[in-house]
Structure 1
């Protein structure tokens, strides 16, 4: 969605919550895909994503648009919900959004089908699977910055907006997180002696991330 068109749609949604539907349609898959990568579970990701959009719709009047549009704000809510989920291990029904919002997003079924196919592809990708598995062993603060930068291709400035952190802090977290991630791969390699062909791929991938 073009940024100017998006701003107009946001303004409409701030006046009438039913106008939130186009925003939901554009960003649902992106947020769901991100949460799937963080949780490794489609069902849990669906529940968390429903909460993200429900909260976004309820709070849309408070949102102030920036040059990046609504995306950083939605990801910020997603990060907060993910962190809350890991702390409390609770989530809500996906149907809640439909009931409370009183709208039917376009091609909703297509979104879920495509995301599930993406999930299957990632699960079959040795490197992707290893990276996500090891990433989840890190502290949440490292998972947040690394997943946003390398899974979602967010800029440092966008990550700062999403996490409410200064640029130096974000860069430092990324650097420290990648070092810990690389160390985890080395430990995994040492423990799993039989995976001699798999681990070098993963280690090489982390080194490439560090050089980015």
Structure 2
């Protein structure tokens, strides 16, 4: 069992689709929402993803990789398909992706927050597509470095280094905004 998720690390006959759905729906939704920036699109795509997982649930083979990698590969491919069909791409800020509500900020604070988010969104758009994907896995889906490493065909230490460098790069961009 994975102590952080209360889910077996290997999906077997004892694990039901309902348990997987309950455990993974929110992180998959956040990942898709982060990638699309649109709540309604994210809802639709997440539903499509879990429909595909449901249809292929019995075909999952733990010998080929972890369940999370299998699930997020399906999710990533569905998002790619969406963009191929719509031929557009948006990114949502890190703070907006977490959908954190604050206590009624003033109008001025709201405007400042919107400007900061817009600036951060532009900074993220300047990153290479692989770096944008890395940020969406880490902060959108809140995946572990190990899972991200499997998805991106690298090692967990390298993922940590890449995230550290990207955050420093974004921090410098934001410092320039505040000056």
Fold conserved between structures, TM > 0.5: yes
Shift of 1:3: 2.7
SS in 1 for 2:127: coil
The residue aligned with 1:194 is none
TM-score (norm 1): 0.54
Quick one: which of 146, 150, 157 aligns to 1:161? Answer: 150
Greater RCO structure (CA 8 Å; 6+ sep): 2
1:121 aligns with 2:125: no
Map 1:158-197 → 2, pairs under 5 A? 158-163=147-152, 165-167=153-155, 171=159, 174=162, 178=166, 182=170, 185=173
The residue aligned with 1:40 is 37
The residue aligned with 1:145 is 134
Which protein shows a greater Rg?
A: 1
In 2, the alpha carbon distance for the partners of 1:176 and 1:22 equals 33
TM-score (norm 2): 0.62
SS in 1 for 2:143: coil
Which is helix-richer, 1 or 2? 1
* Gap regions ≥5 residues in structure 1: 14-18, 91-115, 190-198, 202-212
Shift of 1:30: 1.5
In 2, the alpha carbon distance for the partners of 1:133 and 1:42 equals 20
1:200 aligns with 2:174: no
* Gap regions ≥5 residues in structure 2: 88-95, 103-109
Number of residue equivalences: 155
| RMSD between superposed Cα atoms in Å | 4.1
